[in-house]
Chain A
Amino acid sequence: MVSDKVIEDLREKALQTRKDVLTMLRGSGVGHAGPSLSLVELCVALYFHHAKLDPENIMWDERDRIVLAKAHACETIYSCLARRGYFSPDVFPTYEEFGSILQGHADMWATRGLEYSGGSLGQGLGFSVGLSLAARLKSPYHKIRRGPDYKYRVFCICGDSETMEGDVWEAAFAASHHKLSNLVNIIDYNQFGAYTSIGEESWLEPLMDKWRAFGWWTTEIDGHNLREIIETLEKIDNISGVPKCIIAHTTKGKGVPYFEQTHLHFTGFTEEDYQRSMKAVYKV
């Protein structure tokens, strides 16, 4: 059971993250505003509460791996990493500048604390399968057959449109065949791709049945309800023998009302937009 104080504290952090995202957008003048804002609560729950991380020692072997497969939404991760102590928040205005440690798509060699360089959608889950197979190989051999002694968990954050990529389903096959119970795929189901409303045109549904048919333990949650996110993450730790998928229903551009209405994906961002959205941003 998570105390109200913890949840309240995380809500504050989520608001701070949203403001950081806007600061980065102001710096570059463009950015993926919508998809970044939809996964704020998911990232905050992982980085500030659930995942085992050590910002002092980024090569700690037992840290949890967080893979941002939808690497265009990197602004949110940058904010979480900086506020968690991986680097200074002072670099936010340099986002997407030439030579900046904050690249336009997540790049693990540029940004301290990232686990994966992404950009080409659909590849993050397959990479996560590799990370989770590695955890199995690092477990003592005699334990592998009965249930490996996983030293870390792998959290992959996928976009909803991204699950249309064939690579995702190849990875889904492999993960359930190899019974990778330390692998969690979190789908940010914000209903919109770059230009297509996948919710209305029912591209994905029935999404839950699809993942279940591939042998994944699957559940649906409200992706902006921190209590529900944390309780689900804690619950699935006790499920063994299967990979797990969390379908998190979210809103694109959540936290800034006029973003929510326009389902904004990639956008130009002027100083005026910044002033307006900083005034409008609210605590979810």
Chain B
Amino acid sequence: MVKYVLENALQEKIEDDKKAKSLSFFLAERKAVRNIMGAHLMKMAKENEKIVFVTADMASMEDYIAAGIPEYRAINLGLCEANTVLAAAGLAKEGFIPIYVNMSWLLGRSYNNIFQSVGTDNFNVKFIMYARGWAGGGGSHHEINDIAFMRCIPQILIMAPADPVEMVKCITAGVNYIGAVFIRIGGQNVPNLFEEDYPFKIGKAATVREGEDATIISFGTELWKGLDAAHNLSKEGIETRVIDMCTLKPMDEEAIVKAAEETGAIVTAEDHSIIGGLGEAVARVVCRNHPVPMNLIGVRDRYSQSTRDFGGGWKALEEAYNLTAKDIADAVKETIKRK
């Protein structure tokens, strides 16, 4: 299932990081994720006439036309995020599948509209939000609260893929699913983690590394930090299980309980606030079913800031906000002590 031998993957990523010192590389890297996402969406739209793109001044109409999408199925509603979500709800009611693609941090602007006009009626609207995480632009552009406010919308499906293979599978599953879907896509490019035949299933977590001493649960690009930490810990004789919690709602509670029972210590890692994020969601399952020591890695009730450390894994920010592989590894050791 997992494509790369872990060390190779990490080595490749380190090589990438070495290359990634210039702004142009940073932009090319960002574009790679977007291009894969865009190409896949266009492919799906060509096969399904019900798919309609709604955009708030975030895509060029030429791109849609070049991809063979009739211009009336790509609707630009102007720089009006709130109204774009409402128009999407109206289109969904009439049987279309509106796909709203935008930058992650703009989701909060239309929150009440999502809650009231999409969530209440569970309209078939797809929110595909990219460039999340430590993208450029400073604190205003670093979305660290989207999972918290989207999780509490009843019945919504939330997914956060860790690599391009999983992203494509998430988009396919999400668009074919009937109901509101939020897909959170990282801005950071990572090598493929999964084989093409990886059997992705909504609501099912993937165990990407086996281990018996502790478990790291993560998702998205932060999963790579978790793998990195597990790799370093194994050198010290600590074997850590790593779980990719791609579907954040509904969560794979079975995998969490199993991890608690078998490893007895859980650390969650997320590029999101620890308030209302994955950590609290996992803790809810753990304390109800099989209480074990836990530790939460994430942004600790702070706003973000800008960095010029483009492409280098956003090291300065990750160090400042305690999100590095070393922080995760330290948390694992500390948690094991409390077993």
Contacts and interface: CB of A to CB of B under 8 A. Distances in A.
Contact of B116 (A108, A119, A166): A119
Nearest to A120: B116
Q: Could you say which interface size class chain A belongs to?
A: 20 to 34
Contacts of A126: 82-83, 85-87, 89-90, 113, 117
Contacts of A167: 82-83, 86, 113
Contacts of B106: none
Contacts of B112: 120, 123
A115 B92 CA distance: 12
B168 interface: no
A138 interface: yes
A256 B8 CA distance: 80
Contacts of B72: 136-137, 141, 144
A128 B116 contact: no
A132 B82 CA distance: 17
Given A136-B72, A167-B113, A174 B94 contact: no
Nearest to B75: A133
Contacts of B95: 134
B113 A108 contact: no
A141 B49 CA distance: 12
Nearest to B73: A137
Interface in A198-228: none
A16 interface: no
Nearest to A165: B82
Contacts of B75: 133, 178
A144 to B, nearest CB: 5
Nearest to A135: B94
B17 interface: no
Interface in A100-151: 107-109, 115, 117-120, 123, 125-138, 141, 144
Interface secondary structure of A, over-half rule: helix
B314 interface: no
A135 B91 CA distance: 9
Interface in B133-165: none
B78 interface: yes
Interface in B269-286: none
Contacts of B91: 130-131, 133-134, 137
Contact of A134 (B96, B113, B116): B96
Interface residues of B, number: 29
A175 to B, nearest CB: 9
A178 B120 CA distance: 27
A130 B121 contact: no
A177 interface: yes
A8 interface: no
Contacts of A170: 77-78, 80, 82-83
Given A131-B90, A131-B93, A137 B52 contact: yes
A24 to B, nearest CB: 22
Nearest to B50: A137
Interface string A169-180: 011011001100
A166 B82 contact: yes
B70 interface: yes
A109 B121 contact: yes
Contact of A123 (B70, B73, B113): B113
Nearest to A130: B90
B87 A133 contact: yes
B88 interface: yes
Contacts of B80: 170-171, 173-174
Contact of A117 (B88, B98, B120): B120
B116 A130 contact: no
Given A117-B121, A171-B83, A131 B94 contact: yes
Nearest to A115: B93
Given A134-B94, A141-B70, A129 B116 contact: no
Contacts of A123: 86, 112-113, 116-117
B63 to A, nearest CB: 19
Given A119-B116, A126-B117, 17 more contacts: A107-B120, A115-B93, A123-B116, A126-B83, A126-B86, A126-B113, A127-B90, A128-B90, A130-B94, A133-B75, A134-B96, A137-B73, A137-B91, A167-B113, A171-B83, A171-B86, A174-B80
Interface of B: 52, 70, 72-73, 75, 77-78, 80, 82-83, 85-96, 98, 112-113, 116-117, 120-121
27 contacts: A108-B121, A117-B120, A120-B117, A123-B86, A123-B112, A126-B89, A126-B117, A127-B86, A127-B87, A127-B89, A127-B93, A127-B117, A129-B90, A130-B88, A130-B92, A130-B98, A131-B90, A131-B91, A131-B93, A133-B90, A133-B91, A134-B94, A137-B96, A141-B70, A141-B72, A144-B72, A174-B87
CB-CB nearest 10 A-B residue pairs: A130-B90, A126-B86, A134-B94, A170-B83, A170-B80, A130-B87, A120-B116, A131-B90, A126-B83, A127-B90
